[in-house]
Amino acid sequence: MDFTKFMNKFNEIERTLSPTSSLRLTFDNISPESEEPDANKRLWGVPVPPFVSDKVVSWIEEEFNEPPIYYNGNAVIRKVENVRMIDRYNAKNPTVGTLYLTATHLIFVEPDSNKETWILHMHIANIEKLPLSTTGSPLLIRCKTFLSVTFVIPKDSECHDVYTSLMKLYQPVSINKLYCFNYQPAKDDFPKSSGWDFFKLENEFRRLRVPNDIWTLCTLNMNYELCDTYPRQIYVPQEANTAMLIGSSRFRSKGRLPALTYLHSNKASICRCSQPLSGFSARCLEDEQMLEAIRKTNPNTDYMYVVDTRPRINAMANRAAGKGYENEAFYENIKFHFLGIENIHVQRTSLQKLIEACEQKTPTMSGFLNSLESSGWLKNIRSILDTSSFIASAVDKGVSVVVHCSDGWDRTAQVCSLAALMLDPYYRTIKGFQALIEKDWLAFGHKFSERCGHVQTDQREVSPIFTQFLDCTWQLMTQRSDAFEFNERFLLILHDHVHSCQFGTFVGNCEKDRLDLKLSERTFSLWGFMANHLNEYINPLYKPDVDKTIKPNLQPQCIKFWRGMFSRFESGVHPREPLSDLLLVSKDHCTSLEDHVQHLTKRIASFKNYISKSAKKLQDATAKTYKEPASEINDNKYNYDRKMSELSSADDDHPLKPTEMSFANLSLNERIDSASIKEEINSVAVDWKSMRNVTACSCSTPFDQFSKKTHCWKCGDIFCERCIDKSIPLPGQDSGKPVPVCRTCFRLVQKTSP
């Protein structure tokens, strides 16, 4: 059987079958890029899709003599039966099932409960073979999504097989083998181009009113000559000349010269760069002039800050390598600050310890609190927020800031984006947050491939820098839930897709990498995908009109362990019904009812109007009848064709013209009228089904804690995101705005309202 056909069929089945988790849905649709895979590459006579590397093919051929079996249309490389899955909180009741290893996923199927656990290979962080136990050989798999699961495989040899297979599959050597180059969304989802053009750097700077008479576009980097990890377009002070720019660039690590990243309305700005190559004594006049030029862009204060995000000791240590920090003696009118965010190695260890804190075998309260403290995770989060807050409040007070760390693409990216997030309400919208990531992380460069371990790399390069940025954002969100358009789910989806490489968005380390890889042609954009799911990310508490600058409370009690991220997959830890989801439903319900009330009120007004006018008319008519009954009957004939249903368009301002109406035609049109009013009234669900104990959509998709449950505004029933994909105005609502309805209701409304 043809592999492609299998894959297509699998995709088709997938779209109808019940998934275990809605999060999974976004990761499991894979099919080859073209209908015809490379005809030369075959495995047991079956064409192999191009994303399975030759190495894997030959390895499979060497290892096996038989053709593969299939699970759900997925070619299975390994299938192991009687596997026990142990999750930490259920160690006493492991579930027994079958483990399938495919080219892209590890799938565990529990035959009794019909439950499936899918693990995307790209999400695997590490695999550990634990010591043999009496029940079998345990394999501990830790994921980048903080899922931690142990499979106990009866035979040690089988376990070893699965282990070695996974080791080969989970981390590609080449960036060209990443999942995104093969991922194909469901047919009618969105086109490949969607999302790639959402955020253009020049548009974002135009929004900040740049270029202007003070800041200009620097054209020296159009071919990445000045700095190949910077964007083509960088904005610098008008005053900065070519010599200054080139000089400064040469004096900065990796050529990352000071460039504008955020301009506040008060003319104070945030510029970013890397450390100077100052060593113990070197100086660079052009760099000094460059910083002076930046200082002068802000006429309101006669000094500016240079924030070195590193602890002073780290900065000093760098001098031995010819790098280091600015010599205060050479830079005038600048106040230097060291702000103590630790380096990537400390952060990596910190996360490892945090994960260990969550994974205690016999969890004790002191054990957890001690491990949480000694992991330093919250301390590190707090120091990132502290530095960002320092920058934001300086800018808010009108003082410009130049920020750097070592290479200026880890801590600098964190604090520049977080400071801007605190300063500019736009960045706290869904679109704005994406634009912020595009600017400070994608355009200005961040080593996603290494930091997230997308490809096989030096383990010392891996570090949760972007995860920390999301954690900091979450901390701000929990403190100021009214200031953010998006919710926790938005951050989790973002986090998971940064690591899944399902979309090209976070592939590569800088703008140049992404152009070279032709990602916008070869892969889908996460922004395009997210644009189709915006309603899942809405924070019901958001009000755009809140304070421009938000000032986080950095008291230790206010920095919290992000259970939603790090204990996400621990069943029983989470609230059954997240308050924010309930609130969102309540607000939607209110909106629907308010609208319906408006409509009914107007309908009553028109009836009232109609009755009173008609009564008057009748009185006149009754008086008339005795004189000229015939003429009245003629009038009736004229009115005979007017439909009562015209009432439905009547409101206070445009009432029916009752003087032209008469009652004689009523009985004839009553049925139409009755039906239309009934339709109006029934078109809006007054009662909405309670979210409590709703465990599955009517399409039988089971709901879990991550599932977005949506009400149909017409029938009030609860559906999953895939079933509520239509919007239509309801006849019983006054605003005429399209509202979410289920497919059945959509057809009903479509049928009746032409």
From the list 36, 66, 458, 687, which residue makes contact with a second copy (rule: CB under 8 A)? Answer: 687
- Is 361 a binding residue for a second copy by CB under 8 A? The answer is no
Phi then psi for 129, rounded to 5 degrees? -95, 115
CA quadruple 409, 411, 417, 420: dihedral, nearest 10: -130
- Is 596 a binding residue for a second copy by CB under 8 A? The answer is yes
Residue type at 279 in one-letter notation: G
CB atoms near residue 653 (< 10 Å):
7
> Does the annotation place 410 within a ligand binding site?
yes
> Does the annotation place 648 within a ligand binding site?
no
Q: Which helix (H) or strand (E) holds 71?
A: strand 69-71
- Is 573 a binding residue for a second copy by CB under 8 A? The answer is yes
Least CB distance from residue 439 to a second copy, whole Å? 29
**DSSP letter assigned to residue 220:** T
How far apart (Å, rounded) are the C-alpha atoms in residues 718 and 732? 20
> Does the annotation place 713 within a ligand binding site?
no
Name every residue whose Cβ is closer than 8 Å to that of residue 283 and which is 6 or more positions away in sequence.
327, 330
From the list 583, 672, 675, 696, which residue makes contact with a second copy (rule: CB under 8 A)? Answer: 583
How far apart (Å, rounded) are the C-alpha atoms in residues 473 and 487? 10
From the list 555, 627, 695, 754, which residue makes contact with a second copy (rule: CB under 8 A)? Answer: 555
> Does the annotation place 389 within a ligand binding site?
no
Q: At what angle do helices 156-169 and 54-63 cross, to 10 degrees?
A: 170
- Is 646 a binding residue for a second copy by CB under 8 A? The answer is no
Question: Which token pair is 689?
Answer: 């089904």
CB atoms near residue 379 (< 10 Å):
16
- Is 577 a binding residue for a second copy by CB under 8 A? The answer is yes
Least CB distance from residue 108 to a second copy, whole Å? 23
- Is 541 a binding residue for a second copy by CB under 8 A? The answer is yes
Q: Which of residues 108-167 bind a second copy (CB under 8 A)?
A: none
- Is 91 a binding residue for a second copy by CB under 8 A? The answer is no
> Does the annotation place 302 within a ligand binding site?
no
> Does the annotation place 343 within a ligand binding site?
yes
Does the annotation count 271 as an active-site position? no
How far apart (Å, rounded) are the C-alpha atoms in residues 431 and 50? 34
Q: What is the CA radius of gyration of the chain?
A: 32
- Is 653 a binding residue for a second copy by CB under 8 A? The answer is no
How far apart (Å, rounded) are the C-alpha atoms in residues 411 and 339? 11
Least CB distance from residue 478 to a second copy, whole Å? 8
Q: CB under 8 A: which stretch of 188-196, 269-277, 364-372, 450-458 binds a second copy? A: 364-372
Is the distance from CB of 307 to CB of 277 less than 8 angstroms?
no
- Is 455 a binding residue for a second copy by CB under 8 A? The answer is no
Least CB distance from residue 559 to a second copy, whole Å? 6
From the list 144, 272, 603, 714, which residue makes contact with a second copy (rule: CB under 8 A)? Answer: 603
Helix (H, G, I), strand (E, B) or coil at 93: coil
Selecting among 143, 273, 405, 416, the annotated active-site residue is 405
How far apart (Å, rounded) are the C-alpha atoms in residues 236 and 687? 58
Least CB distance from residue 361 to a second copy, whole Å? 12
How far apart (Å, rounded) are the C-alpha atoms in residues 284 and 276? 9
Least CB distance from residue 614 to a second copy, whole Å? 7
Name every residue whose Cβ is closer than 8 Å to that of residue 592 and which is 6 or more positions away in sequence.
684, 685, 713, 733, 739
Least CB distance from residue 386 to a second copy, whole Å? 10
From the list 46, 582, 694, 699, which residue makes contact with a second copy (rule: CB under 8 A)? Answer: 582
- Is 202 a binding residue for a second copy by CB under 8 A? The answer is no
- Is 608 a binding residue for a second copy by CB under 8 A? The answer is yes
Complex with a second copy: residue 204 or 588, whichever CB lies closer? 588
- Is 686 a binding residue for a second copy by CB under 8 A? The answer is yes
User: What is the per-residue burial (b if ≥16 Cβ within 10 Å, else e) of 469-484?
Assistant: bbbbbbbbbbbbeebb
- Is 681 a binding residue for a second copy by CB under 8 A? The answer is yes
- Is 630 a binding residue for a second copy by CB under 8 A? The answer is no
Size of the site for a second copy (CB under 8 A): 86
- Is 272 a binding residue for a second copy by CB under 8 A? The answer is no
**DSSP letter assigned to residue 687:** S
Name every residue whose Cβ is closer than 8 Å to that of residue 472 and which is 6 or more positions away in sequence.
381, 384, 385, 388, 414, 418
Beta bridge partners of 97: 83
Least CB distance from residue 176 to a second copy, whole Å? 40
> Does the annotation place 408 within a ligand binding site?
yes
- Is 616 a binding residue for a second copy by CB under 8 A? The answer is yes
From the list 173, 369, 534, 696, which residue makes contact with a second copy (rule: CB under 8 A)? Answer: 369
Binding site feature residues for substrate: 343-344, 405-411
Q: Enumerate the active-site residues.
A: 405
